[in-house]
Structure 1
Amino acid sequence: MKPRKVITTAVLLAMALMVTACGGQGNGQESGGKTLKQVTMNEQQAIDRAEEIIRQAVDGMSPQPTLKRIGAAPVGTCIARDDHGPDDRVQVTIAYVLTGVPGSEGKKLVQQARDAWLKAGHTYNSKGEVDWAGPFPSVYMRTKSDDFWMDAMNGIVDRAKGEGEASLGVTSPCFLPPGGSTAPTTADPAALETLRTDDPAGRRALGYSSRIFDALRVRPAPAPSGGGLSTVRDESGTSVHHTWSTEPLSEAETVRALARAQAYLQSAGWSVRHVPTASGTPAVVALRTEDGTTAQLARSATGALRVAVTTPDHGPASVARDV
């Protein structure tokens, strides 16, 4: 097994879960002629529910795998929140690699997860299965009662032999923790940010964000005072996180803008994939393995494109000039 391939699969899984779960969720606002759900829960309730959904998939599996947690701390910022959502909303993401089983069993475990979730009353999203005919399928589902989203996928370990490593993950809806602010906020694009000159990670995040903005070729949403740049600290270390949004776009405009961004990311050496979302327009998630930076682009319920770039604070200061 090649560690770099496994790490890439795990990181992209965690990114996919965040984008898929929050790309089309709101906070009781009107969108597309229907009222989006008002989510009320606390962090522990969200974690417990996510773990329950994981256990629904795993408990009946044969062979029985060992669960290995991947990704950062379970509670994080709501990445692709809608324009009218409160800025302090968070969400829970739980992801596991299923280890201790032969690589030939990965596809079988994904199928068993799918069957167990269907038996529990959960449903597919609009793009429920990807590449099921091949050895490395992905399954995208959601809970009907409380709108948790889950993925099961077989990441590639040895393509020639058809061997993989199955992964499962669950992400909660975005919710407001106790004491959180309900003031709506839209993050600034990178060009409007101010930053200390001695912050290489921040400069790197803004550099990537600026190049994505250039590739999209659409106008940013009007931004109030304050910034979309933040520092995130968890058990995996410290990262700099930059978010912003475009003006609302039609579906056709969104597809064209995402195609331009994907073309740029691939030409710059990023690992890119599409992820189904609640909005119906697949999101773009990307990983730059050289420095561990991730990028997410997802359409919100208002039509705005949400962009999020996260980079570790230990990467080389020169990377932002190379994008």
Structure 2
Amino acid sequence: MFKNAQIYRLQKNWAITAEGLARHLAPQAFTPLGSLDMQCMGWVPARDSSNGFVHMVNRQFLLRLQTEKKILPQSVINQVTRERAKELEEQQGFPPGRKQTKELKEQVTDELLPRAFTRLSSMWVWIDPVNGWLVADSSSPAKAEEALKLLFKAVPKFPLETVRTVMSPGAAMTDWLASDEAPESFTVDQDTELRSTAESRATVRYVRHTLEADQIRQHIETGKQCTRLALTWADKISFTLAENLSIKKIALLDVLKEDHEISGKNADERFDGDFMLFAGEMAKLLSALVAALGGELPDNIERDGQGRITEGAA
């Protein structure tokens, strides 16, 4: 279901029902763009066959945030503005000034917006109140923040925090490569990125390439740190871990899908089965990943610039 994961910590056993959460989200229901609006977003049912904003299966919540955006390139606005400015110059005998040009640009934008094409996109949000996770299916933290802002606005005292681990993902991935040893239940795959911590920010990428331990160590010894690493967990899920603890390229492996094959079901039952499979295995993966990074960091502890706990902290 999800291809990406921006991961956040939710208070475990959060005392809210799917119906209660749906009531909070109802005022933020998606409404199509107005003729002069550039962008709008809001919640839509996770399934077209459902009227609710919260789809629940086995105490797991699934939300879908929909965004509609006008496609009006700045280059088009600038081109039409220049043409209008030239016409205005011929009429008044002198070129428009800065204020007049700004007003002209705003007028052109208002005229073009109703005729602009629109693009619809959606983002899945999985809430696991049992194990305390919230995951947004976005490759960009900024996009995920858009969903979080709506949730914070809709739900009073929404109990969400960032995930802080004892060892930073960048430092941990670098150590795994340097020792040529992945943590328990994980294996290292063939994609990685190493970037210099020096001002040059020199970067080396391996794509579908066998990672030779000696070569990788040479890069690390020259000051490079791993910023992205392809991994497989328990022979069930492959993914790429980034230095900010986000996950990309999530793929459930065939052995897992075969074990949970759902046949003879209708579309809604297959959807629920897929969601149950994803949520159950992903929750285990997140717990294993946090454990591989040394566990969660208490609020009163900080890490140094190398991603490790500062000396003397306790």
TM-score interval, smaller chain: under 0.3
Structure 1 or 2: more helix by fraction: 2
TM-score by length of 2: 0.27
